[in-house]
A and B are shown apart, each in its own frame.
Chain A
Amino acid sequence: MSAFHVLLLLFAAVFVVLCVKSRNTATRYARVTLLCLAAAAVLAPFTWLVAAVFKDHAYLNEFLFFPPPDRWSTETMNLGNFRELFKGRASLRGTVYFWEFALNSTVFATVTTTLQIVFSSMAGYALAKYEFRGKTALTLFMLGSMMIPSVLLLAPLYKMIVTLGLVDSLPGLIIPIMVSTYGIFLFRQSCLSIPNEMIDAARLDGCSEAAIYFRIVMPLVRPMAAAFCLVAFLANWNAFFMPNVFLHTDDKLTLPVVLNLYLGEFRRHQGVFLAGTALTMIPPAVLFFALQKEFISGLTSGAVKG
């Protein structure tokens, strides 16, 4: 019988006692206990990761999480993993450093996200507020194109990028995904709620169509833009399949691709790629904690009404 079983029995005993006293308190207690257990299960890998990146290579498997306080020293806990990670690695292109991959990832994720917001909101606004020939056909085409899994297009797209001479470069990676159909529908949805009178009034006052978009529509769809920005940034930052296929040379790779390579390279020294993994998790985590509400609304706005 392990400590876990003892703990479980203890919880059950408390539950039975509470049941005798009052049923409501007992269910409340059971609910909170279950939630806490689930939360512990979710948080355990993160805790383990934080411990693993600071533990010395030789002690990674000696302690499950952190070493006991009396064993804390620079021998058991140090920054050796990070030092190894930041040390340049020899490649065909000379020495490449970890920060170069971080830079690639940052450029790729920010540029792609920005372009996706601009182009998707423009198209979404046009679909929501204009009547023009071919609108229905275009909407149907967009809906249909969302049903096609992107993997189907990856092989011919790769062929095309090779023909265009854009293979193994960030532009080749960014240009094909500069506009997001999913984003267009999100922006269309939020543009529909802009009162027509507002746009008509601006038009009467002599505002050009581009100015209407920039000065009236954009400020009004800001909340949706923030939400979409988060969802898109996260997807781009963590993107693996396309970058893995499209990028080849060592100094052009993005973080997820590099970390996957390290998985094989540092098999005997896992702390190194775990340190890289932990660092890669930081930017999305910061964004998420700063803008949690917008994030959730961006995710669920397609599915949940009201």
Chain B
Amino acid sequence: MRAEGAKRREALDVPPKRTTPPKVRYKGVAPYGFLSPYLILAAVFFVVPFVNAILLAFYETNGPKSRVFVGLDNFRFLLQDQTFHAALRNTTVYALVSVFIQLPLAMGLAVMLNKGNARLRGFFRLVFFSPNLVGQILVGILFSVLFTPRYGLIGRACQAVLSWGYEARWLGDPKLIMISIVIASLWLWVGFNMVYFLAALQTVDKSLEEAARIDGANAWQVFWHVTLPSMRHVVVFVVIMSVIGSYQLFEMPLALLSESWGYGTDNSGVMLITYLNFNAFRSGDLGLGSAVGWVVALIIFTISLIQIRLGRVAEAD
């Protein structure tokens, strides 16, 4: 029978029936073996510290060795501590600036690059991304010198453009400290976010934009109503990532304002993590540090939840 069937198929020039290879359901312990390094490390260096972080926030500690249970005192202290309020305010201002100034700039650059030819695009992408090779702390070190009054590059550039800034004490004047941090962060992160936007722009369907243009939409309308909605996933991702990153800003202001442990004149440059670092690892109160960590974690967790919701909305459209 079988041979006959094969012969007939041959005669009809039908390719032999394809048989799917027998699916071998693997039942052994191999996956646990592959996962074991992660499982062990996560248990020891994530779960244990995590549980400890919960407990530690209710203790007052003096260095890693001694501790006293203080209940909610750490949080009560944070509620009335002026420096903590300044940290919360500065960090929030910084997060808003990075969403409303940094990201539009990055998007503008990405749109301009997307129109040019490929070789030019590669070159500019390389240039704009290059500050990210440097690392926050080194950017802070470099900019702390660039902000030197009178001699620094930034004061002189400002003088040339705005006819002001030559004598400004960028890192000493409480009014200018946040602006200085923003300038350094723009230099560092505009190119980074641009890379994401550029990659997303290249996946946008060109025929949609073309159709809108033929229907008489101008360049701005095409961008706002066609291009931007088609890359909403990436936009949501980048916005959330930069807000989360903003709340964890620490190294750059620390190096910029190294004389005051990153606090700046009148606490005008203190960030949440700067505050955590100083209290936990300078003053040795790991308990207070943990409490600050919980505040940051809560903020980031809320933002992540918003991301998941927004992601669902984007999916549903």
Interface pair B151/A61, CB less than 8 Å apart: yes
Chain B window 133-158, contacts with chain A (Cβ cutoff 8 Å), 1 for yes, 0 for no = 11111100111111010110100110
B41 at the interface (CB under 8 A from A): yes
Per the bound structure, the CA–CA distance linking A303 and B232 in Å amounts to 11
Per the bound structure, the CA–CA distance linking A60 and B142 in Å amounts to 14
In the assembled complex, which residues on chain A have CB atoms less than 8 Å from the CB atom of B273? 151
A2 at the interface (CB under 8 A from B): yes
Interface pair B141/A273, CB less than 8 Å apart: yes
Interface pair B37/A122, CB less than 8 Å apart: yes
Interface pair B248/A151, CB less than 8 Å apart: yes
A68 at the interface (CB under 8 A from B): no
Interface pair A31/B141, CB less than 8 Å apart: no
Per the bound structure, the CA–CA distance linking A34 and B135 in Å amounts to 26
Given A64-B153, A175-B45, A203-B24, answer yes or no on A126-B127 (Cβ-Cβ < 8 Å).
no
The residue in chain A whose Cβ has the minimal distance to the Cβ of B272 is: A151
A3 at the interface (CB under 8 A from B): yes
B283 at the interface (CB under 8 A from A): no
B226 at the interface (CB under 8 A from A): no
B115 at the interface (CB under 8 A from A): yes
Interface pair A256/B160, CB less than 8 Å apart: no
The residue in chain A whose Cβ has the minimal distance to the Cβ of B132 is: A234
In the assembled complex, which residues on chain B have CB atoms less than 8 Å from the CB atom of A229? none
The residue in chain A whose Cβ has the minimal distance to the Cβ of B304 is: A147
Interface residues of A in 162-217 (CB under 8 A from B): 162-163, 175-179, 184, 196-197, 200-201, 203-204, 209-210, 213
The 8 Å CB contact of A35, one of B28, B124, B129, B148, is: B124
Interface pair A209/B30, CB less than 8 Å apart: yes
Given A158-B281, A263-B141, A304-B203, answer yes or no on A126-B24 (Cβ-Cβ < 8 Å).
no
A48 at the interface (CB under 8 A from B): yes
The residue in chain A whose Cβ has the minimal distance to the Cβ of B186 is: A41
Per the bound structure, the CA–CA distance linking A148 and B126 in Å amounts to 32
Per the bound structure, the CA–CA distance linking A283 and B293 in Å amounts to 33
Given A48-B153, A64-B153, A204-B21, answer yes or no on A123-B128 (Cβ-Cβ < 8 Å).
no
Per the bound structure, the CA–CA distance linking A157 and B32 in Å amounts to 26
In the assembled complex, which residues on chain A have CB atoms less than 8 Å from the CB atom of B129? 296
Per the bound structure, the CA–CA distance linking A243 and B157 in Å amounts to 35
The residue in chain B whose Cβ has the minimal distance to the Cβ of A271 is: B145
A270: shortest Cβ distance to chain B, in Å?
5
B132: shortest Cβ distance to chain A, in Å?
8
B286 at the interface (CB under 8 A from A): yes
The residue in chain A whose Cβ has the minimal distance to the Cβ of B123 is: A39
A99 at the interface (CB under 8 A from B): no
In the assembled complex, which residues on chain A have CB atoms less than 8 Å from the CB atom of B199? 296, 300, 303-304
In the assembled complex, which residues on chain B have CB atoms less than 8 Å from the CB atom of A32? 116, 120
Per the bound structure, the CA–CA distance linking A281 and B133 in Å amounts to 7
Q: In the complex, how many residues of chain A place their beta carbon closer than 8 angstroms to a beta carbon of chain B?
A: 95
Given A156-B290, A158-B64, answer yes or no on A45-B153 (Cβ-Cβ < 8 Å).
yes
Chain B window 35-50, contacts with chain A (Cβ cutoff 8 Å), 1 for yes, 0 for no = 1011001100110111
Interface pair B133/A285, CB less than 8 Å apart: yes
The 8 Å CB contact of A274, one of B31, B48, B142, B294, is: B142
Interface pair A149/B32, CB less than 8 Å apart: no
Interface pair A42/B34, CB less than 8 Å apart: no
B296 at the interface (CB under 8 A from A): yes
Interface pair B133/A299, CB less than 8 Å apart: no
In the assembled complex, which residues on chain B have CB atoms less than 8 Å from the CB atom of A288? 130, 133
In the assembled complex, which residues on chain B have CB atoms less than 8 Å from the CB atom of A152? 50, 53, 290, 293-294, 296-297
Interface pair A296/B300, CB less than 8 Å apart: no
Given A156-B53, A263-B141, A288-B133, answer yes or no on A149-B38 (Cβ-Cβ < 8 Å).
no
Interface pair B24/A292, CB less than 8 Å apart: no
The 8 Å CB contact of A264, one of B134, B258, B289, is: B258
The residue in chain B whose Cβ has the minimal distance to the Cβ of A30 is: B112
Interface residues of A in 4-30 (CB under 8 A from B): 4
Given A153-B46, A274-B142, answer yes or no on A35-B113 (Cβ-Cβ < 8 Å).
yes
B195 at the interface (CB under 8 A from A): yes
User: What are 26 A-B interface contacts by the 8 Å CB criterion?
Assistant: A35-B113, A39-B124, A45-B146, A48-B153, A119-B37, A127-B35, A130-B26, A149-B300, A152-B50, A154-B289, A155-B289, A156-B49, A156-B53, A160-B48, A163-B64, A175-B45, A179-B41, A204-B24, A209-B26, A210-B33, A274-B145, A277-B141, A299-B195, A299-B196, A304-B196, A305-B203
Seed contacts A131-B26, A296-B129; 11 additional CB < 8 Å A-B pairs: A2-B160, A31-B116, A42-B127, A45-B131, A45-B153, A131-B25, A151-B276, A238-B135, A260-B254, A280-B138, A299-B196
* Residues of B bordering A, CB below 8 Å: 21-26, 28, 30-35, 37-38, 41-42, 45-46, 48-50, 52-53, 56, 64, 109, 112-113, 115-116, 120, 124-138, 141-146, 148, 150-151, 153, 156-157, 159-161, 163, 187, 191, 195-196, 199-200, 203, 233-234, 237-238, 244, 247-248, 250-251, 254-255, 258-259, 273, 276-277, 280-281, 286, 289-290, 293-294, 296-297, 300-301, 304
